[in-house]
Amino acid sequence: MYKFFYILLFILSTNIKASDFGTTGIIDIPSARMDADGVLKITYSKQDIGNITNITYQATPWLQTTFRYTDNENYKDRSYSAKITLTKESALMPNIAIGIKDIIGTGTWNSEYIVATKKVHNFDISLGLGWGRLAEYNTIKNPLASINDSFEHRPRESIVGGRYGGKSRGNSFFRGSNVGVFGGIKYSIPNTNLKLLAEYNTDSYKDEVRLGVIPDSSPLSYGVEWNGWERFDFSLSHQQGNQLGLRFTTKLDTKSSSLVREIDPFYSSYDGYNLSAAPKTLNLDSWYDRLLHDFERSGLLLRSAKMSPEQHLVTIELSNFRYNSSADAIKRALTLSQIHVPKYIKKINILLNENGYKAVMVEYIKNNNMKKFEANNATNMISLSPPKVIINPTNITKFKVPSINFDANIAAKFQLFDPDLPVKHQVYLKIGSVVNLSQSWNLIGSYHIDLDNNFDMNRGPGSVLDHVRTDINRYLVEGETGIDSLYLERYSSIYNKIYYRLYLGILESMYSGLGIEVLYQPFMSRVAFGATINKVIKRGYERNFELLDYTTTTGFLSAYYASPFYNYDLALHVGRYLAGDKGATLEVRRTFDNGFAVGAFVTLTNVPAADFGEGSFDKGLFFKIPFDSFSMTNTKAGLSTVIRSLQRDGGQKLDDFSGRLWHDLRNVRYDNLIKNKQRMLPK
């Protein structure tokens, strides 16, 4: 069942150019090539030196990052790598890139390199200089030593990265008396999907030879790569003169516009009972009733409206329950509103209500001449302003209170790169419910029914800190089926700048408690500030209503920034964590218009590395995969998961209750909507 993780990423492909180490390259050596911006790929290679799993993300057009897990009979190693483009290829100049393997950690694959790649007809030729493990064959004097003598000495691997790993080995970057000269060629066979590979690798694999993993090593390797299937590539190689290597790569283009699902058309209630199949009880003489009916069919909730005939204006408050992008919801709402509102209305205002928060007012100047509309600069017809409460609405939708909504989905949890089992998983049926008690109060719950599970308790927590997270396996074994959450929540806003949520109950798998989160977000600002405080108690392992005797208080002050470049959001949280340790968490997250999101985080606290244990500090990756990429219709649902190289107790926060509002409101933030005005335009 763990193959489910790979299937999620098994969607799109063009020409994948991964090496055995995940970065774009030839066989084992890197090249200066990059993937397209936003490409996420998983590469798995199998060879005698180890089975290597890589998760590589093209974070920007010029930055490629890789998380790597190596498994062989002598060690299991986790590491991070990065590569940066220095120059782009031109008629005379090659691509040039600089990269580092094992930026943090014990340095099992420690090396740095500068590499140039040039395409000549069907040949892609790479030549580079390597430090560390890439300086064991065909060496020359380190050219950086002429700049400073300190570059001549490279610290031993045993003293870089910290005793417990996880720390930067920056004091060894590009150091050493010699550098290796490596290179390789890819030849594309015309009119085929095959490439021939050959490389000279300056890594002698002396550690693997010493440990008896391989008998000896040659710098020469060669192979063949096949790109015949749209969704993955495959290669077979003869490496180090004594072993066969297999590699396959799957890839997801997270920027792809094909992940944005078009809205299926239907006959509007304006077309009458027969064509629209509207119920006979619907008053077709009422523009509001017709619009309410068509909104519901489209996944929108019409809350209220105010008709102002003297101003030729209608203001409509709605909530979006179906569309991954608020811009798509606005487009649908404006399209239907143009059909139903009276002809004399020249301006339509849409008040977006996101999960109870009045977030933004979208103002649209109606234009009945569609050809002229399309020819002109249509985005001038749309403007954004701070939300305004509709005073004395002329129409109100009456809701049944309380109202109950249920949903059921297949979901999964993963624990990757455990020392005993590389992939642990649980596949479960998630039954969720939301009981709307009023406009501001909800009762929210989730129950998980186990379908398939290979979590175990073979390895204990092994932590000197309170086991605030390391006994999660016990919850997934003893409480494989149980209550995941059940809490009362209130949400509201003040002065259109301050958003808050209060909550009380079973908050997540391991903790019950109460808390408050506040976010200060000026309307047009890219900067926001927040605060969170929670009083929690640890839950019983069977995930019922039982409570244990561990109680703690966590709290954070947060600062947020929405970058104007590449859709990056940055967050810094400073405060107290579940184990009582104090420190800060830095988050970097990139979100695309198709709903896909990817990010990374790092947490440093006052817990010494010896107490934290292996890894030295908490760090990991974040992914969100929107389900409308796989479904037959629009949906806001998606799979969100966090991948850590290790689960420890230091630097741990409460899931979803430690600074979530900033990300929850991203869809309706000004910085996101203003660049999607074209996407809002009605048909």
Confidence band of 18 (pLDDT split at 50, 70, 90): low
**Spatial contact of 596 and 254, defined as CB atoms under 8 Å apart:** yes
Name 488's bridge partners. Answer: 443, 504
Task: Tell me: pLDDT of 542 over 80.
Answer: yes
Please tell me whether the peptide bond between 402 and the residue prior to it is cis, using omega within 30 degrees of 0.
yes
pLDDT band at 420 (very low <50, low <70, confident <90, very high): low
Mean confidence (pLDDT) of the chain: 88
pLDDT at 162: 58
Q: Which of 354-358, 486-490, 602-606 has the lowest mean pLDDT?
A: 354-358
**Chain segment 446-467, per-residue pLDDT in tens:** 999 999 998 888 877 878 899 9
In this model, does residue 25 exceed pLDDT 60?
Answer: yes
- pLDDT of 13 > 60? The answer is no
**Which pLDDT score, from 0 to 100, does residue 613 have?**
81
- The per-residue pLDDT for 107 is 76
Would you call 287 helix, strand, or coil by DSSP? Answer: helix
Q: How many of the other CB atoms lie within 10 Å of CB of 589? A: 19
Average pLDDT over residues 651-679: 91
Distance CA 445, CA 131 (A): 54
Read off the pLDDT of each residue in 357-361 and give the average, rounded to a whole number.
Answer: 92
- CA dist 409 and 372 (Å) reads 45
Q: In the structure, what pLDDT confidence band is assigned to residue 10 with cuts at 50, 70 and 90?
A: very low
Q: What does the pLDDT average to over 148-165?
A: 73
- As a whole number of angstroms, the distance between CA 490 and CA 253 comes to 38
Q: What's the CA angle centered on 251, arms 246 and 254, to 5 degrees?
A: 165
Domains along the chain?
11-253 (2.40.160.40), 269-399 (3.30.300), 403-671 (2.40.160)
Query: Above 80 in pLDDT, residue 352?
Result: yes
DSSP notation for 422-437: SEEEEEEEEEEEEEE-
Question: Model confidence over 81-96: pLDDT tens digits?
Answer: 999 999 999 999 999 9
Query: Amino acid letter at 591?
Result: T
- What is the per-residue pLDDT across 626-661, written as a single tens digit (0 to 9) for each? 877 667 778 887 778 888 877 889 999 998 888 889
Calpha distance 109→677 (Å, rounded): 47
Separation of alpha carbons 438 and 441, rounded Å: 5
pLDDT at position 418, please? 66
DSSP class of residue 1 equals -
How do residues 373-413 score in pLDDT, each as one tens digit? 454 455 678 999 999 999 999 999 988 878 888 888 888 88
3-state secondary structure of 29: coil
Mean pLDDT of 174-184: 95
- For the ranges 7-21, 54-68, 458-472, the lowest mean pLDDT is seen at 7-21
Of 275-279, 367-371, 670-674, give the range with the top mean pLDDT: 670-674
pLDDT category of residue 369 using cuts at 50, 70 and 90: low
CA distance 288 to 270: 11
With bands split at pLDDT 50, 70 and 90, how would you rate the model's confidence at 5? very low
Decide if pLDDT at 539 tops 50: yes
- DSSP label of 616: S
Query: Per residue in 105-141, pLDDT tens?
Result: 677 889 999 999 999 999 999 999 999 999 999 899 9
- Report the percentage of the chain scoring pLDDT > 90: 57
